Structure 1
Amino acid sequence: MHISFLIHNAFGFGGTIRTTINLANALAEQHDVEIVSVHRHRDSPVFPVHPQVGLRHLVDLRKGTPGYEGDLPEYRSPAAVFPKSETQYPHYSALTDQRIAHHLSTLTSDVIVGTRPGLNAHICLQAKQGPLRVGQEHLTFHNHPRPLRRALRRLYPRLDMLTTTTLADADTYRKHMTLPGVRIEAFPNPVPAPLSAPPGSRDKAVVAAGRLVPTKRYDLLIRAFDRVRADRPDWVLRIFGPGIGGGHGAQLQRLIEELGLEKHASLMGAVSPLETEWLKAGLAASASDHESFGMTIVEAMRCGVPVVSTDCPLGPREIISDGIDGRLVPMGDEEALAQNLLELINSDELRQRMAEAARISSARYEPALIAARFADTCAQLTRQRGTNGALKTVARRTRGSVIGAAYGVKDAVKRRFN
C-alpha cells in the first residue's frame, strides 16, 4: 500500500511532526510511504526519518539557498483554500494553494493523510478521486475556534476517515459533527521504546518537557517545586522545550529567580532527542491545563519514568493509571502537585514500582502496533469501498475495535500492580 502524508513542515520541531514521522517510519517496514512537507526551512529534519520513507517539500523557504521561494509574489498573496480561522493561516499563501492543489491532483497513492485541519480542508476540496482520504486531528475538537469548527462540519463529510488521538475526542467528534459515511477512529500517538537501557542509577531530577507556552503551566510546576525544594533540596527541576528566549520563557526565568530557585530549577531549552534526558530522570511532571494527547508523558513512561500530571482534558487520564504507573492531580492545584511529587521522591520503593508499571503499560504505544492497526483499517475501508462502489461506512464507536485491546494493556497493568 502506498501511503502519503501531507504535513505543514516536516523539518521543524513539534509533537505533530514527531508523531507523523514515528508513524511513517513504522509503516515503512511494510508499505511504500512518503511525507510531503508544504514548507521547508532547513536542510535536514530534526527527527530521524526512516531511509525507506520518501521526504519532499512543496515550497522552499531556506534563506540564502538557490531554491528560496519566499520572495515570489504568489508567496506574498493570501491563501484562498486554507481556512482563515486555522492558526497556521498566516503561513499559507496563493503559492501554497497552487502547490498543494497540483500535488493532490497528481498524487497516485492509495491513501492520502492530512495532519492538520487546514491541510485536511485541501484534501477534502482538491484530492482527486481514488486515494482514501484520511484527516488526522492532533488537537481536540474544542481547541478549534468556532469559525473553524463550522468550516470543518461542511468539509469533513468528504473524508473517508477522521482520526483523533484520544477516545474522548473521538466521542466528541461523533457527538458534535454529523459525518455520514466517515469512520471516526482514535489512534494514540506512536512512541518508540528507548534505544538505550536506563542507567544503573537515576538523577535526583524532576523533568518536564514541551513548548514554553502558558497552557503548559510551567509557572504552576515551578511554584510547586519550590514547596518540594523546602523538604528535598537535593532534588532539581529541569524543564526542556523551545521558547527559552521568548516572552513566556523570560517570565518563567524571572519566577525562578524571584523564588530563589536558580540552583534548583532550570530552563534547559530544546533538546533532540530527549530520550537521554528521560533515561536520566528520576521523575516526570506535567502541569498542563490542556493536553490533546500527552506525547511527553508517554515518552517518559516508555523510558521507565513515572509521571505526576494534572488530570486535564483530554489525554493524561487515558495514558496514566492513577496510583499505578503515575499520579493524576486536580488541574491548577499547586499543593496537590507538590505533595504527590514529594511522596514519590520520598519513597524509592514506590517510585521504582511505578516506574516498572509505566514501562509495561506504555508498551501499547509501540509504533509497530499502531501502524499495523492504521494500515489494517485503511485496507478494510478500501475493500469496503471496492465492494460497495462507494465508501459509506457507518461511523462506529472505537471502544469495540482493536484499539480496545491496546488500551486493555492499561487494565492488565492495574491488575498486576494493585
Structure 2
Amino acid sequence: MKITLLLHNAYGIGGTVRTTWNLAAALADHHDVEIVSMLRHRARPRFEVDPRVRLVPLVDLREGSPDMADPRLREPAVVFPAAEKRYRQYSRLTDLRAEEHLRRCAADVIIGTRPGINVYLARFGPRRALRIAQEHLTHDAHGKRLRGELARRYAELDAVVTTTEADAAVYRARMPLPGVRVLAVPNIVPEPPIPPSDGTATVIAAAGRLVRGKRFDLLIDAFAQVSAKYPEWTLRIYGAGPERERLKELIGERGLEGQARLMGARSPIEAEFAQASIVASASSAESFGMTLAEAMRCGVPVVSTDCPLGPAEIITPGVDGVLVPVGDGGALADALLELVSDATARRHMGQAALVSARRFDPGPIVERYEHLFAELAGDRHVRGWRRHSARWRRRLRRVLPR
C-alpha cells in the first residue's frame, strides 16, 4: 500500500513533526511511505530520518532557492484557510504546488496533519484514495470561522482522526459529519534507545514551546516553593519561543538564577528527560501531551495540570504521575514537593510509567491504522450514500416550508 503524509514543515521541530516521522517510520515496515512537506527552510530535517521514507518538499524557502524568486511566493494564499493560524506562512505558490502534487498523487491513503493542509486534501486529493484528516489540535482550539470551513471540507473526507477519545467525542457532538468516521488514535512514542532514569537526580524537567499557553511562568512560581525547601533541586526548561525573555526575567525576579534554567530546544528530548527525576507540565490546554508520554518512556513520573484534553488519557493519577487543577500554582507546588520529598514514590511511579507507556508502542498503533484503512475501503459506498443523503436533506430543508 502506498501512503502519503502531508506535513507543514518536515524540517522543523515540534510535536506534530515528531509524531508524523514516528508514524511514517512505523508504517514503512509494511508499506511504501512518503512525507510531503509543504515548506522547507533548511537542508536536513532536525529529526532522525528513516531511509525508507521518501521526503518530498514542495516550496523551498532557503536563501537562493528558485522558489524565493517566484512572485507567487509573495501573493496571499487563496485555498489555504485565512482563519488558520499558519495562514501567513502560506502563499499562492503553496496553494498551486499542493494542488499539483495531490492531483497526480498515486497513493492509496493520504493523511493530512493540520487543518489548512486537510483543506488542501479535501479540495485536491484524488477521490480513489482514502483521505484522512489528522487533528493534532483540539476542536475548541479552532476559531468559529475556521470550524465552519472545516465542517464543510471535512464532510468530503473519509475519516477524521484525533489524538484523544475526549476530542473525538467533541467532534462527533459539535461537527456532525455523515459518512465520515471520527475516531481517536494516540500518537506513537517509541521506546528510546537509552537507559531509563533511576530517579536519583535532583532535577525537575519540562519541555515545550515557550508560549503563554504552556504556563511555564506558573511552573517557575511553583518551583520557587520547592527551591525554598530543597535548594539542591534544579528546574530545567527545554524549548524555544517568544516567551523566553519574559521567563528569564521571572527567574531573576524569583531569585532562581542557577537553579531554574532555560536550556533551549533539544531534539530528541528523551536524553534530557532520562537525566531528571520528575517531569512537569503546567499547560492550560494540550491536544495530546507528547512530552508527558516521552517522559514516561524514560521512566520518569509526571506532574501535570489536568487540562483539556490529553493528560487525563495519558496519566493514571497516583500510579504513574499526578494531575492537578489547571492554573493552580499551589497544587502544582504541593505535588512537586510530595515527589521531591519521597524517593520511594518517585521510583515506584517511574517504574509504573515505563509499563504504562508501552501502549504508545508503534506496533499496536500501526495495527489500528491498518484496521481503519481496511474498514474505510470496505464501506466506502455505504458512507458515500450517507454523505449524499445528508446533503440532499439539507437542500430540501432550505427549499421546503417548515
| Structure 2 match to 1:101 | 99
CA distance in 2, matches of 1:13, 1:191: 15
| Structure 2 match to 1:38 | 38
CA distance in 1, matches of 2:386, 2:195: 44
The offset of 1:323, in angstroms, is 0.8
Question: Match for 1:162: what amino acid?
Answer: V
SS across alignment from 1:370: helix
Q: 1:393 to 1:227 in 2, by over 3 A?
A: farther
Q: 1:393 to 1:305 in 2, by over 3 A?
A: farther
Tell me the TM-score normalised to structure 2 length: 0.94
| Structure 1 match to 2:398 | none
Deviations 1:184-219 (A, max 9, x none): 110111101111113656421000000000000000
- Which of 162, 173, 193 is residue 160 of structure 2 equivalent to? 162
SS across alignment from 1:11: coil
SS across alignment from 1:158: coil
The offset of 1:285, in angstroms, is 0.3
- Which of 354, 360, 384 is residue 355 of structure 2 equivalent to? 360
Question: Match for 2:341: what amino acid?
Answer: N
| Structure 1 match to 2:256 | 261
Cα RMSD between the aligned structures? 1.3
Deviations 1:7-32 (A, max 9, x none): 11100011110111111110001111
| Structure 2 match to 1:89 | 87
| Structure 2 match to 1:26 | 26
| Structure 1 match to 2:393 | none
Q: 1:200 to 1:330 in 2, by over 3 A?
A: closer
| Structure 2 match to 1:348 | 343
CA distance in 2, matches of 1:158, 1:14: 28
| Contact 2:226 2:337 survives alignment (8 Å) | yes
| Structure 2 match to 1:172 | 170
The offset of 1:68, in angstroms, is 3.9
Alignment of 1:191-206 (within 5 A): 191-198=189-196, 202-206=200-204
Question: Match for 2:305: what amino acid?
Answer: T
CA distance in 2, matches of 1:391, 1:235: 59
| Structure 2 match to 1:302 | 297
Deviations 1:381-413 (A, max 9, x none): 11222xx4764579xxxxxxxxxxxxxxxxxxx
| Contact 2:199 2:276 survives alignment (8 Å) | no
Deviations 1:312-359 (A, max 9, x none): 111001110111110001111111111110111111111111001111
| Contact 1:160 1:391 survives alignment (8 Å) | no
| Contact 1:27 1:368 survives alignment (8 Å) | no
| Contact 1:27 1:372 survives alignment (8 Å) | no
CA distance in 1, matches of 2:163, 2:109: 19
Alignment of 1:62-141 (within 5 A): 62-64=62-64, 67-141=65-139
| Structure 2 match to 1:51 | 51
CA distance in 1, matches of 2:184, 2:80: 25
| Contact 1:308 1:329 survives alignment (8 Å) | yes
| Contact 2:199 2:346 survives alignment (8 Å) | no
Tell me the TM-score normalised to structure 1 length: 0.90
The offset of 1:129, in angstroms, is 1.8
CA distance in 2, matches of 1:254, 1:59: 38
CA distance in 2, matches of 1:88, 1:117: 10
Unaligned runs of 5+ in 2: 388-402
The offset of 1:367, in angstroms, is 1.9
CA distance in 1, matches of 2:385, 2:334: 52
Question: Match for 2:146: what amino acid?
Answer: L
